Amino acid sequence: NMNFIADRLKRIKPSMTVGINVKANALRAEGKDVLVLAAGEPDFDTPLNIRKAAVTAMEEGQTRYVPGKGTPALQKAIQSKFLKDNNLHYDLDEIIVGVGGKHIIYNAMMATINPEDEVIIPAPFWVSYPDIVLLAEGKPVIVPCPEDQNFKLTADQLEKSITDKTKWLMLNSPSNPTGSLYSKQELQKLADVLLKYPQVLIMSDDIYEKVIYDDLEFSTLASVEPRLRDRCLTLNGVSKSYCMTGWRLGYCGAPKEIIAAMNKIQSQSTTSTSSISMAASVEALNGTQDFIDEHNQAFVRRRDLVVNLLNQIDGLSCLTPQGAFYVYPSCAGVIGKVTPDGQKISNDEDFMSYLLESEGIAGVHGAAFGLSPYFRLSYATSDEILTDACARIKRACEQLK
C-alpha cells in the first residue's frame, strides 16, 4: 500500500464547479433527463471573426513556441484594452498572459505566498480561490458577506480581517456566484482602508467585466484609487466576454516584479498558452465588440425570467444579480423539511442532491462557495430549459413536508 501522492494534495479538494458539471453532463450523455445549470460558461459559440483569426493564424504558420508573456501583438492588444476600458496604463513588462484566468491566479499565488501568509477571501467566493491559496501554502481567511449586504465585503469587515500576515485581498466583481457588482463608491471605501496597510496586495478578478446589466458601470480598484495601482493585480481573460472558455487564455496587469516572478514559473511549467489562442485573442480584443451587447440582452432576459420564477417558489428567495450569469437563491425555507422518500434536507448540499435525484436539476450547493444555505444556478442556457428547470424546482419544493 504505497502512498505516491504528495502531502500538499491533502490540503485541497477538486473543483466542485468543474466536478458537478462533468458529472451532470455524463449523466445526460447516458440518456438521463438532466438539465445542467452548473456550467460557468456562456452557451454562445465563439464569435466567427475570432474563430477565423485562429484559422488564419494556423494557415500562416503561427504554430511555434511564442513568448510566455504573450506575443507582441497580444501584449499590445491587452495594453490598449486596459487603457480604453479601465483607464489603466500598463507597460509591456507589467502584463502577462496565462492558460486561463485560473492559471494567472495560481501563478500569482505561487509567486508571492510564503507559508502562513494570509489571503482574505470574502464569501461567497469562486470555489478555486481558497484551494489555490492552500496549494501555495497560504492561509485563506474567509469573511462571510451576508445577503443583506448584497454579498459584498464592507470596509469595516475588511479592516477587521487585516493582520500583519495579510498578503492578498481577493475581490471579484461582478461576482461568481452572486452576480453582485461593487460600485465605484464601495471600492473607494475599501481602498481607503487598504491605503493604511501597505503590506496587502489586491487581486481584482474582473473576468465578468463585460457581463453587466441595467446600464450599471464597471469599476476596478487600480483605477478607482491610483495610489493602489502598484499593489493591484488586475485580472481578466477572454473566457466569459468572448465565449472562449475552451481556448484557455487569461491575462493580467500587475507590478513588474510580480509579472517577472510569474513569468519565471511559466518558463519552467507551461511555457505559454497556445499560439493559436493568442492569435484568436488579439482579434477578440481588437475586433468588433458588437456581440457583447447581443449576448447581454439574452442574459438579462434570462436573469429576469429565472429570478421571477424562483421567487414564486415557496421556500426559496432570490436577489436580482447585476452581472455575470448566475443566480444565488436562498433555500433557507426548505431546510429541515423531509423528502417523499423520508430524507431530511439538512443543508444546501442535501437540497441539491434531492433536486438532481428527483427532477434532474444540476446546480451547485452554496457550501462550495463558502456561504449557506444557498445554491448557484447558471442561466447561460435557453429560455425553454430555464422555464422547465424552474417548474421542476417548484414541483420538487412542493413535495417537501
> What are the cell numbers at 111?
509567486
Task: Kindly tell me which of 38 and 57 has the beta carbon lying closer to ligand GLU.
Answer: 38
Task: Kindly tell me which of 113 and 127 has the beta carbon lying closer to ligand GLU.
Answer: 127
- Determine which residue in the list 126, 168, 291, 351 makes contact with ligand PMP, applying CB under 6 A: 126
Which of the choices ligand GLU, ligand PMP, none does residue 15 contact, using the CB cut-off of 5 to 8 A by kind? Answer: ligand GLU
- Determine which residue in the list 154, 157, 183, 245 makes contact with ligand PMP, applying CB under 6 A: 245
- Identify the three-state secondary structure at position 68: coil
Which of the choices ligand GLU, ligand PMP, none does residue 221 contact, using the CB cut-off of 5 to 8 A by kind? Answer: none
The Cα–Cα gap between 63 and 72 comes to 15
- The footprint of ligand PMP on residues 179-198 (CB under 6 A) is none
- Identify the three-state secondary structure at position 123: strand
174 forms part of the interface with ligand PMP (CB under 6 A) = no
> What are the cell numbers at 356?
438532481
Task: Kindly tell me which of 79 and 273 has the beta carbon lying closer to ligand GLU.
Answer: 273
Element (H, E) at 202: strand 201-205
Sequence-ordered list of residues with C-beta below 8 angstroms from that of 135, at least 6 positions apart, any chain: 8, 11, 12, 106, 109, 110
- End-to-end alpha carbon distance in the chain: 47
Sequence-ordered list of residues with C-beta below 8 angstroms from that of 250, at least 6 positions apart, any chain: 97, 98, 99, 100, 101, 102, 103, 104, 207, 235, 236, 237, 238, 239
Cβ-closest position to ligand GLU = 40
Question: How many residues sit close enough to ligand PMP to count as binding (CB under 6 A)?
Answer: 13
> What are the cell numbers at 113?
505566498
- Determine which residue in the list 47, 68, 101, 140 makes contact with ligand PMP, applying CB under 6 A: 101
Strand partners, 374: 330
Minimum gap (Å) between residue 214 Cβ and ligand GLU: 22
225 forms part of the interface with ligand PMP (CB under 6 A) = no
Task: Kindly tell me which of 40 and 253 has the beta carbon lying closer to ligand PMP.
Answer: 40
Task: Kindly tell me which of 176 and 372 has the beta carbon lying closer to ligand GLU.
Answer: 176
- Identify the three-state secondary structure at position 30: coil
Radius of gyration of the chain (CA): 21
Which of the choices ligand PMP, ligand GLU, none does residue 18 contact, using the CB cut-off of 5 to 8 A by kind? Answer: ligand GLU
Sequence-ordered list of residues with C-beta below 8 angstroms from that of 255, at least 6 positions apart, any chain: 94, 230, 231
Which of the choices ligand GLU, ligand PMP, none does residue 360 contact, using the CB cut-off of 5 to 8 A by kind? Answer: none
176 forms part of the interface with ligand PMP (CB under 6 A) = yes
Closest alpha carbon to 234 in 207, 252, 249, 250:
252
Which of the choices ligand PMP, ligand GLU, none does residue 272 contact, using the CB cut-off of 5 to 8 A by kind? Answer: none
21 forms part of the interface with ligand PMP (CB under 6 A) = no
Which residues lie near ligand GLU (CB under 6 A)?
A: 15, 17-18, 40, 102, 126-128, 176
Cβ-closest position to ligand PMP = 100
Which of the choices ligand PMP, ligand GLU, none does residue 71 contact, using the CB cut-off of 5 to 8 A by kind? Answer: none
Q: Pseudo-torsion of CA 327, 103, 161, 323, nearest 10°?
A: -20
205 forms part of the interface with ligand PMP (CB under 6 A) = yes
Task: State the residues that interact with ligand PMP by CB under 6 A.
Answer: 40, 100-102, 126, 172, 176, 205, 207, 237, 239, 245, 250
